Structure 1
Amino acid sequence: MSSNDHKFVQCNEKDEETLLFFKKGINDSSHGKISTWLTEKDCCAWEGVHCDNVTGRVTELHLHDQNLKGEMNLSILELEFLSYLDLSENEFDVLNIPATLHNFTHTSNLFYLDLSLPYPIHDGYLQMDNLDWLSPLTSLKYLNLSGIDLHKETNWLQAVNTLPSLLELHLSYCNLNNFIINSSIEYLNLSSLLTLDLTTNNFTSQLPNSFFNLTKDLTYIDLSNNNIHGEIPPSLQNLQNLRYLDLCYNQLKGSIPYGIGQLANIQHLDLHNNIMLSGSIPSIIGNLSSLRHLSISSNNFSGEISENTFSKLSNLDSLDLSYSNFVFQFDLDWVPPFQLQDLSLSNTNQGPCFPSWIYTQKSLESLDLSSSRISLIDKNKFSSLLETIAGSLYLSNNSITVDISNLTLKCGSLQLDHNNFTGGLPNISGSIPYLLDFDLSYNSFSGSIPHSWKNLKYLSYINLWSNRLSGEVMAHLTDWTQLTILNLGENEFSGTIPIKMSQNLEVVILRSNKFEGNIPLHLFNLSSLSQLDLAHNKLSGSMPNCVYNLTQMINISMNQYIRPLTIEFFIKGQYYSVGYINPNRTIIDLSANNLSGEVPLELFQLVQLQSLNLSHNNFIGTIPNMIGGMKYMESLDLSNNKFSGEIPQSMSLLTFLGNLNLSCNNFDGKIPIGTQLRGFDASSYIGNPKLCGAPLNNCSTEEDNPKTATTSPENDDDSIRESLYLGMGVGFAAGFWCICGSLFLIRKWRHAFYRFVDGIGDKLYVTFMVNMHVADPEM
């Protein structure tokens, strides 16, 4: 019964109390379904609550993804007629399992239970010490506890074994660390189980051979992303109903068991990233006519793959053989029995010719042939193929030379980098309804950005680094409102930088172009920006004098993550190209422009900044003392400007500083004492005539004491030696006459001195005579 049918019967009072008790521990900040749970309404009318239309008893609770926080109190299971409970995808941080759950006073009707937490799982997720509370739930058919920490539960398989009706079990991301402890797996019986999902746990053991004997009716097994080692058990062939098997990202070794070819119903087989799996592919795999998805990439397989390997795989629609050592022996006229949607042959040896059989695939949504040594193509067939792909197209790191300026592509993810594509950029269909990423860097594209690109409102990442592109881009940059990564460096773009761009920008690289005019204030108010590179342009004017709202350069967010997208950056005098974007790498490079005026103090408040390059401009003013707070600074280049004043002592606090260049300015005074600054060689400071101290020449006496006359270093040394000798002589004479004069003039001192001398003489005489007597007793 839906909540709208409650008018036929009133909610049970006891059930209402149980629901309100459950609500009591919840912080419903999102004002979702549970905020409607008010006593003014019948509880069967509450959002997410379903009641039986005859008895008025609560039978179902649907609270999936309601942003519920606080306590997950499983006293809710005490609802006597509850058959369906879904609390998944919420953000509970406390778990309460009442002791009364172990002693139900009624027979449980619950057949569906989902308490799973949202992904990705973080370190502070819920911990459940044991699963003993499950035993009364004998009617349970579906159980999902994914994301709940179960590392203290050492007998999870036995606990699950108490659920005779269980059909689906999902325990992914549960921190499980064993398959079986203190009992034999042979005595377990999960004869009803059809689906087993144990992905992403901490298993460190082998798969027991009897593991696949738990039930012969399994249709779905996911053991991916664990640490399972050893060989694939031959008992796998007993699962004749198996349709889905995922063992990827483990430590499996040996060869694929021949018996896997007997799984006549298998549709999904994924063994990728088990780097110790080896040997050739059993020819019997070619008989798996039901197979739709095959992934055996990133292993140590070898041998030959030919059309015979796929002769009977007419249902295959996804194939991944990337990062493999296979020898591909396909006949040039071979037409496969399948039409693929997804194909990945990256990092394999396909070249020099583009594989002719791929031209026959008319349903491709995703094609990855990056780093596959391709240089020769059939231009017409190649162009037609590219225009049919609607998902992702990856051809990076080949040697393809072709003009594709007349094509209109409809793929949302396009990576053509590190080739030799010529002519203009291709047109892109503006109807793609999801985030787009384009990498066309390191090619020979020329001309301007096509007008069709202006409509790419979902464009998220664009990299056009190192081409021959030109023209103005202002209109495009203004319209790309979802853009997060912008790299137009090493081209010939011109015009001014737009005064308004996407608020989501994290990386802006416009390096080595012909942009002119002022730096827009907008760039310094992008809270997510971590890399700003405007170097080697024709920018002029002063830097914006405002509050810099570059939050990422002030406080590093722990929620940021590294993304696998290629980006270029210039730091410590070198170019780097990396295959990921790290938001914690913070850089500002404004070098080689015509910028002038003083650098705003706000720039030196970006305490998380790691690289700052303002060189080859016309900046004036001094380095503020607050620079010492930029404790993560690794590279600082202020060279070839008109900075003046002293280098602040606080710079010696920059302990991570590995590259420093203050040369060719007007700095004066002493280089601050401390190994951090004096550890750099003289090239870091040359071109500042009034600057002294290690590693430059020592400062003169005049600089130590401005009132002293100017002398050469050699004269300074001579004067010091003469003063030293003169002082010693005067001191000796003064001391001698002070003592002798006192003895001569003061009678008491003179008599005391005579008595002291006589006493010393008497002691020396006695000591001498005693020693002589000891040496010669007859004296």
Structure 2
Amino acid sequence: MMTIFTKQMPFLLLLLLSLTTFHRTRSSNDHKLVRCNEKDQETLLIFKKGINDSYGQISTWSTEKDCCAWEGVHCDNITGRVTELDLGNHGLTGEINLSILQLEFLSYLDLSWNDFDVINIPTTQNNITHASNLFYLDLSIYFFDTSTLHMDNLDWLYPLSSLKYLNLTGIDLHRETNWLQAVATLPSLLALQLSQCNVTNFIINPSVEYLNLSSLVTLDLSFNNITFKSPNWFFNLTKDLTYLDLSRTNIHGEILSSLLNLKKLRILDLSLNHLQGFVPDEISQLANIHHLDLFGNWLSGSNIPSIVANLSSLEHLNIGYNNFSGKISEITFSKLSNFEYIDLRSLNFVFQFDLNWVPPFQLQHLSLSNTNQGPNFPSWIYTQKSLQFLDLSSSGISLVDRNNFLSLIERIPYLSLSNNSITEDISNLTLKCDSLYLDHNNFTGGLPNISPMAIVVDLSYNSFSGSIPHSWKNLKYLYYINLWNNKLSGEALGHLSNWTRLDYLNLGENEFSGTIPIKLSQNLNYFILRSNQFEGTIPQQLFNLPYLFHLDLSHNKLSGPMPECAYNLTLMVTLPMNSHSYFVSFEWFTKGQDYYVDDDYSNRRTIDLSRNNLSGEVPSELYHLVQVQTLNLSHNNFIGTIPKVIGGMKNMESLDLSNNKFCGEIPQSMSLLSFLGYLNLSYNNFDGKIPIGTQLQSFNASSYIGNPKLCGAPLKNCTTKEGNHKTTKTSQENEDDDSIRESLFLGMGVGFAAGFWGICGSLFLIRKWRHAYYRFVDGVGDKLYVIFMVKLNSFRRN
């Protein structure tokens, strides 16, 4: 849309810009003849103080040099006053100080496409005493820039009565509730661009006397969240609009009837809103319109073909993703000799074109995806010699005119024929495509030669055979290649060292062979070699790719140990603030199943090394990749234990370590994997008891079978070998305790008997000892009797 806007700029604005450019060129050639005004120089230096100039773009701004010779500064060749400041796209950061508007003769100010952080609006700005000459002001930031400049109010606009062009695209204005009144006080305003400004309110009952937009020619409010319904009053304020962009602004209801009063309208963009109902027939009376975009609404009816047929000036038509019905034939387009762009995606039209029809136009862009075109390839498309973009994906095509078809596809830069049933051999072609989508067809033979400018190649789900052409080594701009599910063979990875920009590589489900090279693109996100004949070891360089987050080397003949390295897979450890994501298409294997993946799953963190001949212990560094969601090491020869640090992989959803030689106990920390939806530890040598925890007990016995020494829920309780072992041990301990007690009691008995008979036997056998014993007993008895009687008499006296 931005490109279209630039291309279709109203003539008056182009004239203004041309005059400005001429004036700037003339003044820049003559600036050495005059001296810069001191007051202007001081204002420029104040402006410079807040700027961070990392690229040295304004390093010339110093008092040692006349300010008329400074970068971006242009002066009047007679007066020496600064008239223009052009610093657009200079890589500047820091602060925009609007004190720069104090320059009395400034007519042109462009600070667009920089990376400023703050806009400083001086309190004195509203006290400008001179009449402003400024007619061009551009503070816009890059349309998809993630950083946002905030501006609380637009009061500073009031003195700028000469302003004709105002662009604040990308600046956050959500705190400015009176933006419409502010811009309406600019009587000379011709073009207003407030795209992506977070504008939310739209005044419902304005005062017509107060709001004067009669001069407005261009209005862009796209990518906001205004959520208004049919503000007919607004478009009664101006009759001269030629460009109107209200795309993605949450408009709902029927198409605004007041739009039909804009007889000079040339460009109308209402795409990506919630419009519904019929398209008014009166739109066909907008004789000047050459760009009509209603894409992505809920519009319906069968009258749109007849409306289009009457718009003789139409060049650009985008009405895809609506609920239109009816019939489209050559009659619809017979008067449209200026047509360049058609997008009818996902419409239920019945297409009935005469086989011999030759259109009166030459298209550059044609999209008929998800429409019913087949089974024959539309013959009228063969006549289009200027096509730069052709999308006929999912259109039911199976039959082509071979010669015409091959001639057509060979010359189109963007070609998408995905999801059809075309059977052709294109091995002798050299395709000019930079974006090529032929996936999900029946193409046979060898792979075609491709333009060295190619950036996207998707030939998956076909029957291509043979090896990758040698010429593909020259694809130095390639960032996406998908050859999944063909019959290709040979050593494919020798090309990788040349594909230095590669982001996505999918060679799965083929018969490729060879080894994985050491030199790989540092930009790789996806590396998929699944189900081939690759052999050798895994190079450690693969685990040091900072942007890699989907690695699938499963079902190959790889051998040897896992690399001992740092495992510097940054995107598997931390999630970036702005996660990279774009549409991808491949089979994603997890949780014991396979899924067809689109952009919803394009940033899943996956490592799948299953069904190879890998051996040795798994390096502990692998378990530190805490963002991994799917880990599959099954059907290899890995040994060793599972370390406790696996509990830190808290994003894990699918874990398969089955059919290896892992041993030892399952660590208790695995119960912390709260997102785990699939677990398979079967057929290893794990022992001990399965840790108790809701997570690990939620899986059935099949997740643990084949580990004879493993017990505990969901397997049998630990009463088998482990239980017998504990019972035997306890029995032995009890027997030992009984033996000790018996020995103790026996010793005590023997000692008592020996002492008793030693003393009593002596008294019985020796008379002297016996008499002495009796005298001793009598003496002790007499003493006890005397003590007792003394105590008793003392008690009685008391």
**TM-score, structure 2 normalization:** 0.86
Does structure 1 conserve the Cα–Cα contact (< 8 Å) formed by 2:277 and 2:298? Answer: no
From 363, 367, 371, give the equivalent of 2:390. Answer: 367
Which whole-Å CA distance do the structure 2 matches of 1:511 and 1:594 have between them?
Answer: 14
From 44, 56, 79, give the equivalent of 1:19. Answer: 44
Deviation at 1:44, TM superposition (A): 2.3
From 649, 652, 663, give the equivalent of 2:671. Answer: 652
Which whole-Å CA distance do the structure 2 matches of 1:392 and 1:162 have between them?
Answer: 46
Deviation at 1:436, TM superposition (A): 1.1
Deviation at 1:703, TM superposition (A): 4.1
Deviation at 1:284, TM superposition (A): 4.0
The match for 1:326 is 349
Which whole-Å CA distance do the structure 2 matches of 1:183 and 1:646 have between them?
Answer: 75
The match for 2:109 is 85
The match for 1:543 is 562
Does structure 2 conserve the Cα–Cα contact (< 8 Å) formed by 1:264 and 1:290? Answer: yes
- Residues 1:114 and 1:151: Cα distance change in structure 2 (over 3 Å): same
Deviation at 1:700, TM superposition (A): 3.7
Deviation at 1:707, TM superposition (A): 6.5
Deviation at 1:312, TM superposition (A): 0.1
Which whole-Å CA distance do the structure 1 matches of 2:602 and 2:328 have between them?
Answer: 42
Does structure 2 conserve the Cα–Cα contact (< 8 Å) formed by 1:354 and 1:376? Answer: yes
From 59, 83, 88, give the equivalent of 1:64. Answer: 88
Look up the SS of the partner of 1:479 in the other structure: coil
Equivalent residues in 2 for 1:527-566 (5 A)? 527-566=546-585
The match for 1:513 is 532
The match for 2:119 is 95
For each residue in 1:554-583, what CA deviation from the matched residue of structure 2 results, as whole angstroms up to 9, or x when unmatched? 111122232123233211111122222756
The answer to whether the aligner puts 1:498 opposite 2:523 as a matched pair is: no
Does structure 1 conserve the Cα–Cα contact (< 8 Å) formed by 2:185 and 2:211? Answer: no
Deviation at 1:151, TM superposition (A): 2.0
- Residues 1:542 and 1:192: Cα distance change in structure 2 (over 3 Å): same
Could you tell me which amino acid in structure 1 is paired with residue 476 of structure 2? K
From 201, 206, 215, give the equivalent of 1:192. Answer: 215
| Equivalences, count | 710
Equivalent residues in 2 for 1:96-135 (5 A)? 96-122=120-146, 125-135=148-158
Deviation at 1:612, TM superposition (A): 0.7
Deviation at 1:34, TM superposition (A): 2.7
The answer to whether the aligner puts 1:622 opposite 2:646 as a matched pair is: no
Could you tell me which amino acid in structure 2 is paired with residue 448 of structure 1? S
Could you tell me which amino acid in structure 2 is paired with residue 289 of structure 1? S
From 253, 259, 263, give the equivalent of 1:236. Answer: 259
From 329, 335, 345, give the equivalent of 1:306. Answer: 329
Which whole-Å CA distance do the structure 2 matches of 1:226 and 1:209 have between them?
Answer: 16
Task: Calculate percent identity across the aligned residue pairs.
Answer: 72
Which whole-Å CA distance do the structure 1 matches of 2:400 and 2:32 have between them?
Answer: 70
The match for 1:428 is 450
The match for 1:315 is 338
The answer to whether the aligner puts 1:211 opposite 2:230 as a matched pair is: no
Which whole-Å CA distance do the structure 1 matches of 2:726 and 2:143 have between them?
Answer: 71
Which whole-Å CA distance do the structure 2 matches of 1:658 and 1:420 have between them?
Answer: 37
Question: Where does structure 2 lack aligned partners over 5 or more consecutive residues?
Answer: 1-25, 739-798
- Residues 1:627 and 1:521: Cα distance change in structure 2 (over 3 Å): same
Which whole-Å CA distance do the structure 2 matches of 1:568 and 1:5 have between them?
Answer: 65
Question: Where does structure 1 lack aligned partners over 5 or more consecutive residues?
Answer: 724-779
The match for 1:415 is 437
Look up the SS of the partner of 1:644 in the other structure: strand
Deviation at 1:18, TM superposition (A): 1.6
Which whole-Å CA distance do the structure 1 matches of 2:387 and 2:729 have between them?
Answer: 83
Does structure 2 conserve the Cα–Cα contact (< 8 Å) formed by 1:295 and 1:321? Answer: yes
Look up the SS of the partner of 1:709 in the other structure: helix
Deviation at 1:137, TM superposition (A): 0.3
Does structure 2 conserve the Cα–Cα contact (< 8 Å) formed by 1:4 and 1:45? Answer: no
Look up the SS of the partner of 1:475 in the other structure: helix
- Residues 1:233 and 1:298: Cα distance change in structure 2 (over 3 Å): same
Could you tell me which amino acid in structure 2 is paired with residue 105 of structure 1? T
Which whole-Å CA distance do the structure 2 matches of 1:270 and 1:148 have between them?
Answer: 25
Does structure 1 conserve the Cα–Cα contact (< 8 Å) formed by 2:685 and 2:708? Answer: yes
Which whole-Å CA distance do the structure 2 matches of 1:230 and 1:669 have between them?
Answer: 67
Could you tell me which amino acid in structure 2 is paired with residue 513 of structure 1? N
Which whole-Å CA distance do the structure 2 matches of 1:224 and 1:596 have between them?
Answer: 57
Which whole-Å CA distance do the structure 2 matches of 1:7 and 1:355 have between them?
Answer: 63
The answer to whether the aligner puts 1:403 opposite 2:425 as a matched pair is: yes
The answer to whether the aligner puts 1:488 opposite 2:507 as a matched pair is: yes
RMSD: 2.2
Which whole-Å CA distance do the structure 2 matches of 1:263 and 1:512 have between them?
Answer: 59
Could you tell me which amino acid in structure 1 is paired with residue 290 of structure 2? Q
The match for 2:296 is 273
From 684, 704, 715, give the equivalent of 1:665. Answer: 684
Equivalent residues in 2 for 1:151-166 (5 A)? 151-166=174-189
Could you tell me which amino acid in structure 2 is paired with residue 237 of structure 1? L
Which whole-Å CA distance do the structure 2 matches of 1:167 and 1:5 have between them?
Answer: 30
Could you tell me which amino acid in structure 1 is paired with residue 703 of structure 2? S
